């Protein structure tokens, strides 16, 4: 199992990534603005139920990889760092696209849940992100790789639900302002870009 210090660092890094909105947060915010707080929270539950699929896939895939080749595992870790760098640069270079929150049709609670689930499960960027991020905190000497990945994934999901749930509640309370968020969206892009670049730079100094 990961050491306490590793878990602590993982939690800090995860919170740093979660506080800057990505596609899932924008989807949740949009639902909260369109249908209110409960719709946003149900969307959060659906999205992070979908995250379970990605965590399980990452646990199986990375476990198989480390069993096959320690060198390949190291390559994946550094490929993950490169991916985080790419995300950071893309965020910093992104220009405003109008920033309007898309209006969505009103959906039932069951439909909201499954829509959030499908949106996350079918998002290849989410799968790639888990494969890039989680291995950075995995150490073969600490025990079974799959168990480490599952634990880290569970921590990510719990923190993600707390963070995204907060966004859902704030968005529903500030619906009018969220609709006019061009400048705020650009600031969040810059902030998230800096977080990705900082995390990638820090991870390059860590030993596998």
Q: Is 115 contained in some domain?
A: yes
Check: CB of residue 115 under 8 Å from CB of residue 107: yes
Q: Is 138 contained in some domain?
A: yes
- How confident is the model at residue 205, as a pLDDT? 63
- Render pLDDT for 111-126 as a digit per residue (tens, 0 to 9): 889 888 887 887 666 7
Place of tokens 């895939």: 61
pTM (two decimals): 0.68
Q: How far is residue 161 from each of residues 9, 62, 70, 92, 190, measured CA to CA in Å?
A: 19, 24, 33, 26, 23
Q: Is 159 contained in some domain?
A: yes
Q: Is 163 contained in some domain?
A: yes
Q: Is 151 contained in some domain?
A: yes
Could you give the dihedral angle defined by the CA atoms of residues 51, 55, 60 and 62, in that order, rounded to the nearest 10 degrees? 130
* Number of domains making up the chain: 1
What's the token pair of residue 29?
């915010």
Question: What CA–CA distance (Å, rounded) separates 27 from 14?
Answer: 19
Task: Give percent of the chain above pLDDT 70.
Answer: 66
Residue of 1, 3, 33 lying closest to 147 (CA atoms)? 1
- Render pLDDT for 67-84 as a digit per residue (tens, 0 to 9): 566 666 667 667 767 776
Q: Is 108 contained in some domain?
A: yes
What's the token pair of residue 205?
């100094």
- Note down the domain range covering 135: 4-14+22-30+37-203
Q: Is 208 contained in some domain?
A: no
Question: What CA–CA distance (Å, rounded) separates 134 from 170?
Answer: 29
- How confident is the model at residue 109, as a pLDDT? 81
Q: Is 53 contained in some domain?
A: yes
Mean model confidence pLDDT for the chain: 75
């Amino acid at each position: 199992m990961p050491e306490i210090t590793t878990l602590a660092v993982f939690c800090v890094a995860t919170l740093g990534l979660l506080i800057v909105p990505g596609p899932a947060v924008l989807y949740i915010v949009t639902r909260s603005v369109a249908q209110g707080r409960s719709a946003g929270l149900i969307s959060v539950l659906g999205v992070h139920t979908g995250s379970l699929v990605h965590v399980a896939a990452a646990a199986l895939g990375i476990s198989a990889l480390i069993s096959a080749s320690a060198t390949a595992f190291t390559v994946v870790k550094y490929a993950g760092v490169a991916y985080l760098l790419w995300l950071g640069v893309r965020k910093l270079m992104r220009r405003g696209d109008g920033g309007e929150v898309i209006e969505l049709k009103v959906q039932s609670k069951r439909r909201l849940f499954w829509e959030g689930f499908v949106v996350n499960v079918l998002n290849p960027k989410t799968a790639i992100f888990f494969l890039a991020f989680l291995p950075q905190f995995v150490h073969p000497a600490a025990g079974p790789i799959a168990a480490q990945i599952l634990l880290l994934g569970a921590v990510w999901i719990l923190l993600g639900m707390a963070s995204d749930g907060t966004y859902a509640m704030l968005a529903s309370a500030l619906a009018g302002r969220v609709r006019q968020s061009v400048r705020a969206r650009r600031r969040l892009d810059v902030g998230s870009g800096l977080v990705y670049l900082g995390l990638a730079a820090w991870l390059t100094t860590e030993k596998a």
